[in-house]
């Protein structure tokens, strides 16, 4: 039985500075949390910059980053590891959380509520003074590397009662609130990300602002910064702005004919 003894850390390093536009004091607060290795929860709607922020912080702190996209089929073994059978026999393979704990990475569990609660509890001993991860099946207690830190993202918008983090999990994290940036800031992000002019970017942001006002009036969630960037990228590729906006900012978010009409009308007003 052999371990994956050698882990190539370089694959988890972020070489180039990711573009991240701060919107408040989140960089300083995160650095303070990291200094004490406090677990951090990033709260906010989808597509508002949470993942980009973690990438930026990992780059800034020069720490490896291991991201896990959580989903409802994920089991604890997908996080911690499992025995595999291969030609040589039985081999233990560390999961991403275990690798992160061993090498001292920032482990980012994206959309952690998607995972079942019995999966979520495996992170508990890593989040308190123990800083350990028991590999029950393997009979090993992994002591987290001093640089290890746990980060999770959480979208308060679409939490149902059935699917929410338990208080016993929530209360193990510090938290930062994320939201869509202010219009001027978001305009700068969109222009920069897609390489389009500020004037067009500003119009897309205005359109998104109008759509966000429909949240709770037929729309579950507003248009994300990510979708505005997509529209801008289509425009940069030569797609006509109204078609780009319909493709990236209307069709993905709703199938409701009335809301689509309202949004298409807004496109005509803003981009017409
Ligand atoms: N503050 C920001 N700085 C730079 N880019 C941003 C920022 N906020 C959002 N973006 C853009 O929005 C996209 C989606 O952000 P992401 O971090 O993936 O969202 P999520 O909150 O879902 O993790 C990014 O790829 C980037 O283009
Ligand atoms: Mg994300």
Q: Which ligand is nearest to the CA of 27?
A: 1
Atom of ligand 1 nearest to the CA of 19: 4
The pLDDT assigned to 5 comes to 58
Mapped onto helix, strand or coil, the DSSP state of residue 215 is strand
pLDDT of residue 17: 98
> Closest residue (by CA) to atom 19 of ligand 1?
47
Pocket test for ligand 1, best of 194, 221, 225 (most atoms within 8 A of CB): 225
Q: Is the CB of 49 under 6 A from ligand 1?
A: yes
* Ligand whose nearest atom lies closest to the CA of 226: 1
- CATH top-level class of 9-177: alpha beta
Atom of ligand 1 at shortest distance to CA of 48? 21
Looking at the whole model, is its pTM more than 0.75?
yes
The 10s digit of each residue's pLDDT in 1-27 is: 444 457 899 999 999 999 999 999 999
Q: How far is the C-alpha of 199 from the C-alpha of 184, rounded, in Å?
A: 11
Atom of ligand 1 nearest to the CA of 42: 21
pLDDT at 160: 61
In this structure, the residue with its CA closest to atom 20 of ligand 1 is 47
The pLDDT value given to residue 64: 98
Distance 222 CA to ligand 1 centre (A): 14
Residue 235 pLDDT:
98
Q: What one-character-per-residue DSSP string does 243-263 give?
A: HHHIIIIITTT---HHHHHHH
SS3 84: strand
User: What kind and span of H or E run contains 67?
Assistant: strand 65-69
* Cα 73 to ligand 2 centroid, rounded to whole Å: 18
Closest CA to 54 of 14, 10, 15: 14
Q: Residue ranges per domain, the chain?
A: 9-177, 183-271
Q: Which pLDDT score is estimated for 1?
A: 40
244 Cα to the center of ligand 1, angstroms: 19
pLDDT tens digits, residue range 65-116?
Answer: 999 999 989 999 999 999 999 888 999 999 999 999 999 999 999 998 888 8
CB distance 45 to ligand 1 below 6 Å: no
Span between the terminal Cα atoms of the chain, in Å = 66
Cα of 38 from ligand 1 centre, angstroms? 23
**Cβ-based neighbours of 95, under 8 Å, separated by 6 or more:** 77, 78, 79, 80, 81, 82
pLDDT on residue 257: 95
Integer Cα distance of 245 and 229 in angstroms: 10
Neighbours of 18 (CB within 10 A): 15
Residue segments in the chain with a per-residue pLDDT below the cut of 50: 1-4
pLDDT of residue 216: 86
What pLDDT is stored for residue 225 in this prediction?
97
pLDDT at 158: 65
Q: How far is CA 45 from CA 159, 187, 226, 232, in A?
A: 11, 18, 11, 20
Cβ atoms of 151 and 40 within 8 Å: the answer is yes
Distance 7 CA to ligand 2 centre (A): 25
Return the pLDDT at 161. 57
Short-list 39, 101, 109, 102, CA closest to 74? 109
CB atoms inside a 10 Å sphere around CB 148: 24
For residues 160 and 25, the answer to whether their CB atoms sit within 8 Å is no
Give yes or no for residue 21 CB within 6 A of ligand 1.
Answer: yes
158 lines ligand 1 (CB under 6 A): no
pLDDT score for 117? 79
Q: What are phi and psi of 18, to 5 degrees?
A: -70, 145
Q: 167 CA distance to ligand 2 centroid (A)? A: 22
Cα separation, 152 vs 106, in Å, equals 10
Ligand 1 pocket test: pick from 48, 108, 178 the residue with the most ligand atoms within 8 Å of its Cβ: 48
């Amino acid at each position: 039985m052999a371990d994956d003894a050698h882990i190539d850390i370089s694959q988890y390093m972020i070489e180039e500075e990711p573009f991240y536009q701060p919107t408040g004091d989140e960089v300083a607060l995160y650095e303070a949390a990291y200094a004490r290795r406090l677990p951090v929860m990033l709260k906010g709607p989808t597509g508002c910059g949470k993942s980009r922020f973690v990438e930026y912080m990992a780059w800034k702190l020069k720490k490896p980053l291991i991201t896990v996209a959580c989903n409802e089929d994920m089991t604890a073994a997908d996080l911690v590891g499992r025995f595999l059978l291969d030609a040589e026999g039985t081999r233990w393979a560390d999961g991403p959380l275990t690798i992160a704990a061993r090498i001292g990475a920032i482990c980012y569990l994206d959309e952690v509520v998607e995972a079942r609660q019995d999966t979520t509890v495996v992170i508990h001993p890593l989040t308190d003074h123990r800083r350990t991860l028991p590999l029950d099946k393997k009979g090993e207690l992994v002591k987290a590397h001093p640089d290890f830190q746990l980060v999770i993202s959480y979208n308060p918008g679409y939490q149902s009662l059935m699917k929410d983090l338990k208080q016993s999990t929530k209360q193990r994290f510090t938290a930062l609130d994320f939201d869509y940036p202010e219009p001027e800031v978001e305009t700068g992000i969109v222009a920069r990300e897609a390489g389009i002019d500020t004037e067009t970017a500003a119009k897309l942001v205005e359109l998104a602002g109008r759509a966000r006002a429909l949240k709770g009036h037929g729309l579950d969630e507003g248009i994300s910064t990510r979708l505005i960037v997509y529209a801008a990228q289509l425009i940069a590729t030569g797609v006509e702005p109204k078609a780009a906006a319909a493709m990236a900012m209307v069709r993905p978010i709703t199938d409701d004919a009335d809301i689509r009409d309202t949004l298409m009308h807004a496109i005509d007003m803003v981009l017409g």
